[in-house]
Amino acid sequence: MRLLLLGCSGFVGRELVPYLLELGHELTLVSRNPQAFERLAGTRLSVLHLDPADAASWGHNGLDEALRQAEGVINLAGEPIADKRWTPRHRALLMTSRVHTTAHLTAAMARLASPPAVLINGSAVGYYGSSDSARFVETSASGSDYLAEICRTWEAAADQAPAGCRVVKLRIGIVLGPDGGALGKMLPVFRAGFGGPVGSGRQWMSWIHRHDLCRLIAAALEDPAYQGVYNAVAPEPATMAAFASALGRSLGRPSLLPVPGPLLQLLLGDGAQVVLEGQQVLPQRLEQQGFRYQFAALSAALAAATSPQPR
């Protein structure tokens, strides 16, 4: 397929882009990073150095032509949630980087005589808010906090895709990989022997191995049975305490030193809620649809993500 990729030049994209190329797809990547995947650039990968959240980018001839030729679109655009303190300016950026990109995209698609056949759009398990006891599936109600508002607004923008375009919305959990995301930040601490649960340890972590997320995106592109909302998580959520213990075992290191919640709150402000609060999210629709995980169990996912050997 000819694909247009937005927001795919970071942690997930580092595996997703080469994986889609291996499957034979032809890609145009829109990124603010001028070095994004230059080593892979060739006849089946081109990179447009544009900001898709900027309305002016959608008048660019290269982007207009790439969208016109695209058979499918993958949109994972958005500023990282837990990397910075949530100042008023950063809170606005968390929202606009997702919503403006998606709104500009679907509006541009609607102007085409023949829009792409499928849109895979990101969202997050933050849609459900946080809870120590509730179990969330795709039909569960949205939460009431700011993360939930971001996800609702993001998904609503994706729903403006034109008729005839199959929309798949992935509510993505914590993505596990060694070179980024939450696990990438935890690994140096655990390898040094100072690892442990963050906060109370009772909060739930709904996770997915990065390779399974890439496989899911590829399946949703090609299989017309995928439509609507899916919880992009593994079937084995874990508490933070259980996750820290499993990571320690995987590395052969202790995992007994907790990271105090107030310290994280001091560093990240409101952004600490992503780590200090959680939700137990289950992939009900993926299991009904028969998606086969390569890493369904946490122990296997952590072993793969922390191994120096190739997958």
Alpha-carbon distance of 238 to 235, in angstroms, equals 10
CATH superfamily of 2-239+270-306: NAD(P)-binding Rossmann-like Domain (3.40.50.720)
Poorest-pLDDT segment among 52-66, 97-111, 175-189: 175-189
Alpha-carbon distance of 280 to 137, in angstroms, equals 9
Biggest distance spanned by C-alpha atoms of the chain:
59
pLDDT in tens, 249-290: 999 987 777 777 676 666 556 666 667 788 999 999 999 999
**Token pair recorded at residue 94:** 């968390």
Domain coordinates in residue numbering, the chain: 2-239+270-306
pTM (two decimals)? 0.93
Q: Is the dihedral of CA 135, 177, 94, 275 positive or negative?
A: positive
**pLDDT band for position 131 (cuts 50, 70, 90):** confident
* Coil, strand or helix at 273: helix
Cβ distance 134 to 279 under 8 Å? yes
User: Measuring CA to CA, which residue among 69, 75, 88, 71 is closest to residue 30?
Assistant: 75
The CA-based angle 9-11-16, given to 5 degrees, is: 65
